[in-house]
A = this chain, B = another copy of it.
């Protein structure tokens, strides 16, 4: 906590094109693809200080800093990453990317399919966490990074960080898995399926090929996002923030907005529906549903983690009912049963799943302490 925190300042997105065919876990193949990414800090001489930040459902490559001429375009994890921040860009070279299938510049459903000359739409392959890790490894190769000092992710991003440790045990020294789970529960899947059905049954979805109809399934996306927001917050957080406050101070006896919580949700839904790609939303929820490294080991998570070599920091938040602390403890148990170095922090927070994105003193102290340890390793011993 010695250095004053600062922004990484003006940043610029870059693009990497991969011209070889990419085969997905499903068997589907993309002839080529591009990944958009940003980097902060400086890669050291032996390329041992690289950090990969994996994003969650609606995230992207713009993790920290802002774009030239647009000071409000602040990255989604700017409170965590920058000079003097818990993930200190004076010490680390940090990479954020937009995942394959995304809608922020990487090849995704809205990209042109070179074979048809039209957007992929429904023809874009279903993506899994495994596929993302494969594509991220190709990006690491391109950047000359043999081994990451750490891979960090929250929620769906945490699943990617875990998968790195399983798929490429020699390529990651530390995994920071935040507000995540070894797999979704039936209830989690159920919420995702309602969100998906909202999109799939929107008449403007056109089976995923809405681009060529010049419409967007906003109704469905809006509902999906409204529902999502409920699950990102906690009952208490919503009670504290909105309670039963009436927008007009009295009941209106109509279906217009009456309670402040309705105003908030509809606003969030509308905003998202104007920005996000419906097919990408579907893909992200499927990747969440599918992630389950224990499935290949008859449900035995201990055996799933037998391949891992990294050290782990696992963080959960008390009010997170979407990825509850119990789910993080399952991960920690499996790590300990494999005699891996695992640190676990359960942060007291009222802000639900969204806590992982928020500035919270105890949480940031835990992250900073762990990252400082990685920095000390780098300074003292070099890479493993």
Interface residues of A, Cβ cutoff 8 Å to B: 24-28, 125-126, 183-187, 189-191, 193-194, 196-198, 200-203, 219, 222-223, 226-227, 229-230, 233, 235, 238-239, 241-244, 251, 253-255, 258-262, 265-266, 269, 282, 286, 289-290, 292, 295, 321
**Which residues on B sit within 8 Å (CB–CB) of A286?**
253, 255
Q: Distance (Å) between the CB of A182 and the closest chain B CB? A: 11
B239 in contact with A186 (CB, 8 Å): yes
- B residues less than 8 Å from A244 (CB atoms): 183-186, 189, 292, 295
A-B pairs with beta carbons under 8 Å apart, 12 shown: A126-B254, A186-B235, A186-B238, A186-B242, A190-B262, A197-B223, A197-B226, A197-B266, A197-B269, A201-B222, A244-B295, A251-B290
Q: Once the chains bind, are B265 and A194 in contact (CB under 8 Å)? A: yes
User: Which residue on B lies nearest to A28, using beta carbons?
Assistant: B253
Q: Is the CB of A200 within 8 A of B255?
A: yes
Specify which chain B residues have a CB less than 8 angstroms from the CB of A200 in the assembled complex.
Answer: 255
Residues from chain B with Cβ under 8 Å of A238 in the complex: 185-187, 190
Total copies of this chain within the assembly: 2
Q: Are A261 and B186 in contact (CB under 8 A)?
A: yes
Residue among A226, A255, A289, A290 with the highest chain B CB neighbour number at 10 A:
A255
B239–A185 contact, CB under 8 A?
yes
Q: How far is the CB of A337 from chain B (nearest CB, A)?
A: 21
Q: Check B230–A261 contact: CB distance below 8 A.
A: no
Known: A190-B262, A200-B255. 19 other contacts (CB 8 A): A25-B253, A26-B251, A27-B253, A184-B244, A186-B241, A186-B242, A190-B230, A190-B261, A193-B265, A194-B230, A197-B222, A197-B269, A202-B219, A223-B223, A227-B227, A244-B292, A244-B295, A253-B286, A258-B289
User: Given that A219-B201, A251-B290, A292-B244 are contacting pairs, would A226 and B183 also be in contact in the complex, using a CB cutoff of 8 Å?
Assistant: no
Decide yes or no: A261 and B189 within 8 Å by CB, A201-B219, A253-B26 being known contacts.
yes
- Complex Cα spacing A203 to B282, Å: 22
CA distance A223 to B219 in the complex (A): 12
- Cα A14 to Cα B226 in complex, Å, equals 42
Which chain B residue shows the least CB distance to A197? B223
Given the contacts A126-B254, A239-B186, A292-B244, A262 and B28 also touching, CB distance less than 8 Å: no
Bound CA–CA A202/B239 (angstroms): 29
A185 CB to nearest B CB, Å: 6
Task: Tell me, rounded to whole Å, the shortest Cβ–Cβ distance linking A18 to chain B.
Answer: 21
Residues of B within 8 A of A295 (CB): 244
Given A197-B222, A198-B223, A201-B222: A259 and B186 interface contact (C-beta under 8 Å): yes
Complex Cα–Cα for A254 and B290 (A): 11
Cα-based distance from A235 to B185 in the complex (angstroms): 8
The CA of A25 and the CA of B251, in the complex, are separated in Å by: 10
> CA separation between A238 and B191, bound complex, in Å?
12
Chain B residues whose C-beta falls within 8 Å of the C-beta of A222 in the assembled complex: 197, 201
